[in-house]
């Protein structure tokens, strides 16, 4: 009986094996399952030429590729020479919004979780969404709004970073407190933040400070104690737009802003030119910024060992003043400090790098390393193990990645 029954059912099992993958594929093509169906041909040009990147702990390079309606994520195991198929983050099409001062972000935690932050035009322009993947990009969580007043208050210029425990910090410019001191002038907003981790999934918004220049990206870095430090262009007394440091204290309160830089740039304008910060493992904050102040004009470097109370002086002027040097980034790895910025000669944008082997005490000559004739992102310095990489994207050339030669 058993033997006969086995003989009769055997062909049915064979058909099941043949049909099951076909049925599964059919289900996937109708979009009823969140699994698989990940390949998308998004073309070669990212929206406004802007591509975000980060290294995973295993050395895999991840990139976020925005198009006009979608956000894609891809990875490379050969330092960007080739990329995987594309994984889509947003399940429904959205009007994606990116500009160089307000780019999307991708961050990979030590555990390998891939975090994505992007902007789409909804009730407010450039509304921020957050999503993550725990399966190497195959599936992403349903994107959620970062701001809890996303429909009524504009919020943008977000920064996202992940600490060593996997806790995610978000910082952004928020217009929900519309009434700022009128003596400061216009374009003054608040700085907000929230956190996200495996335990606390709720994004509870908290104000850090008012008096933030609305259209200059705020810079964030982790100190050796794993807590964030902020470098922001603030609107100070008499409408002076200079830079201040704010840090998260051990009592979980934010310090008052400490004006670290005095350029006396008195202007009621949108500079669209935010600073950058990197903190070395001994706690020295390396700062780069742009100003057209009374004291100095152009881009500059300085460092501080006490979060802005005392700052190296005079600041180091960077770049060729006749080539509009701007949008600098900084990266500290041990005693080495790397700088990168862009210059423009009327036809092409160039990326120039400079480095120090002694924590910013002395510097190499500057060197032009990349060029592009079209619209570009700002240059970005990122670390993988002990190496510094310069990442830069443009409309025509896409993503370019180079190691910075220390010799």
Partner 1 sequence: MIKSTAMPIFRLFSCTLLLFFTVVVSANDANEPNGLRLGSYQELVAQHEAKPLVVVFWSISCASCLKEMATIKEIHQEQPSLPIVMVSIDDSTEASAVLATLQDKGLSDLESWVFTESNPQRLRYEIDSTWYGEIPRLYFFDADHNRRGISGKISKADWLELLAS
* Residues within the interface to partner 1 (CB under 8 A): 125, 185-188, 214-215, 267-273, 290, 292, 324, 326, 344, 346-347, 349, 373-375, 395
**Strands laid side by side in the 336-344 sheet:** 326-333, 336-344, 349-356, 367-372
Sign of CA dihedral 266, 268, 271, 273: positive
In terms of Cα–Cα distance, which of 226, 239, 233, 240 is closest to 197? 226
Between 215 and 339, name the residue whose CB sits nearer to partner 1: 215
In angstroms, give the least distance from the CB of 69 to partner 1: 14
Between 125 and 367, name the residue whose CB sits nearer to partner 1: 125
In angstroms, give the least distance from the CB of 49 to partner 1: 9
End-to-end CA distance of the chain: 81
In angstroms, give the least distance from the CB of 117 to partner 1: 19
Between 114 and 213, name the residue whose CB sits nearer to partner 1: 213
Between 48 and 131, name the residue whose CB sits nearer to partner 1: 48
In angstroms, give the least distance from the CB of 275 to partner 1: 14
Q: What are phi and psi of 237, to 5 degrees?
A: -55, 145
Between 234 and 248, name the residue whose CB sits nearer to partner 1: 234
Between 38 and 375, name the residue whose CB sits nearer to partner 1: 375
CB 80 within 8 A of CB 399: yes
Between 269 and 333, name the residue whose CB sits nearer to partner 1: 269
Question: Residue-wise over 34-45: b if at least 16 C-beta within 10 A, else e?
Answer: eeeebeeebeee
Between 124 and 356, name the residue whose CB sits nearer to partner 1: 124
In angstroms, give the least distance from the CB of 272 to partner 1: 6
Residue whose structure tokens are 């619209």: 375
CB 390 within 8 A of CB 402: yes
Kindly state the tokens that stand for 374.
Answer: 């079209």
| Residue 240 CA neighbour count, 13 Å, CB half | 15
Kindly state the tokens that stand for 228.
Answer: 């964030």
Between 114 and 126, name the residue whose CB sits nearer to partner 1: 126
136 torsion bin: left (phi>0), alpha (psi -120 to 50), beta (else): left
Which residues is 221 bridged to in the sheet? Answer: 229
In angstroms, give the least distance from the CB of 404 to partner 1: 24
In angstroms, give the least distance from the CB of 38 to partner 1: 29
In angstroms, give the least distance from the CB of 80 to partner 1: 23
In angstroms, give the least distance from the CB of 33 to partner 1: 35
In angstroms, give the least distance from the CB of 155 to partner 1: 13
Between 31 and 346, name the residue whose CB sits nearer to partner 1: 346
Question: Residue-wise over 278-317: b if at least 16 C-beta within 10 A, else e?
Answer: bbbeeebbbbbbbbebeebebbbbbbbeebbeebbeebbe
Question: What is the DSSP-derived secondary structure letter of residue 2?
Answer: H
Question: Residue-wise over 145-182: b if at least 16 C-beta within 10 A, else e?
Answer: ebbeebeebbbbbbbbbbbeeebbbbbbbbbbeeebee
């Amino acid at each position: 009986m058993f033997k006969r029954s086995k003989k009769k059912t055997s062909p049915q099992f064979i058909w099941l094996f043949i049909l099951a993958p076909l049925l599964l594929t059919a289900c996937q093509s109708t979009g009823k399952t969140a699994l698989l169906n990940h390949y998308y041909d998004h073309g070669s040009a990212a929206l406004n030429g802007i591509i975000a990147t980060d290294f995973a702990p295993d050395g895999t390079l991840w990139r976020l590729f925005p198009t006009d309606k979608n956000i894609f994520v891809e990875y490379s195991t050969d330092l960007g020479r080739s990329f995987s198929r594309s994984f889509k983050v947003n399940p429904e099409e959205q009007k994606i919004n990116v500009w160089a001062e307000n780019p999307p972000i991708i961050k990979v935690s030590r555990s390998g979780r891939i975090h994505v932050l992007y902007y789409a035009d909804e009730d407010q322009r450039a509304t921020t969404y957050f999503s993550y993947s725990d399966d190497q990009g195959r599936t992403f969580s349903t994107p959620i709004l970062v701001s809890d007043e996303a429909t009524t208050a504009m919020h943008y210029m977000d920064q996202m970073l992940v600490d060593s425990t996997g806790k995610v910090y978000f910082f952004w410019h928020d217009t929900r407190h519309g009434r700022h001191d009128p003596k400061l002038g216009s374009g003054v907003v608040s700085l907000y933040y929230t956190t996200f981790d495996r335990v606390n999934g709720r994004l509870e918004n908290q104000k850090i400070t008012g008096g933030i220049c609305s259209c200059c990206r705020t810079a964030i870095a982790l100190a050796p104690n794993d807590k964030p430090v902020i470098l922001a262009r603030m609107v100070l007394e008499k409408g002076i737009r200079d830079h201040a440091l704010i840090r998260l204290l051990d009592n979980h309160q934010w310090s008052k802003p400490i004006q670290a830089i005095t350029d006396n740039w008195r202007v009621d304008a949108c500079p669209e030119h935010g600073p950058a910060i990197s903190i070395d493992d001994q706690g020295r904050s390396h700062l780069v910024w742009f100003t057209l102040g009374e004291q100095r004009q152009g881009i500059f470097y300085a460092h501080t060992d006490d979060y802005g109370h005392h700052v190296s002086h005079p600041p180091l002027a960077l770049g060729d003043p006749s080539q509009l040097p701007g949008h600098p980034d900084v990266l500290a790895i041990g005693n080495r400090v790397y700088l990168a910025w862009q210059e423009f000669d009327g036809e092409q944008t160039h990326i120039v790098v400079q480095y120090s082997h002694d924590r910013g005490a002395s510097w190499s000559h500057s060197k032009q390393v990349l060029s592009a004739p079209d619209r570009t992102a700002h240059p970005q310095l990122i670390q993988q193990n002990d190496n510094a990489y310069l990442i830069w994207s443009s409309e025509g050339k896409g993503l370019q990645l180079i190691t910075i030669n220390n010799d």
